[in-house]
Amino acid sequence: MSDAFFVIDLALEIYVWILLAAAVLSWLVGFKVVSTDNRAVAVVGKFLDALTEPVRRPMRYLLPDLGGVDISPLLLIAIVMAVRYGMVFFGVGRSPVAF
């Protein structure tokens, strides 16, 4: 049973990293540090959006408009970390490693 929770915890940890990558890429594109005219940036951006957008979209309705700054990844990271620590608190998983 603990192997299943280890896999769930690992998947949640990987998803946190994917959320961070999507947030950083969107900020870099938004501040015009990188351009989506670059094919590699466009492909990576589409891949990260495909993985994170279905979960981020409902969060945007809950959060106030902050003038173009999307903080939905930060809220999702907090929720994922709370789930991970909840699993440890209730004794169903391993101790999560700080990312």
pLDDT score recorded for residue 96? 54
pLDDT score recorded for residue 69? 74
Range of 22-26, 49-53, 94-98 with top mean pLDDT:
49-53
pLDDT score recorded for residue 88? 81
pTM of the model: 0.82
Q: Is the pLDDT of residue 35 over 60?
A: yes
Q: 39-51, pLDDT tens digit by residue? A: 999 999 999 999 9
Distance CA 67, CA 6 (A): 39
**If DSSP codes are grouped into helix, strand and coil, which group holds residue 93?**
coil
Q: Which residues contact 45 (CB under 8 A, 6 or more apart)?
A: 25, 26, 29, 36
pLDDT score recorded for residue 97? 56
Which single residue is written with the structure tokens 């466009």?
42
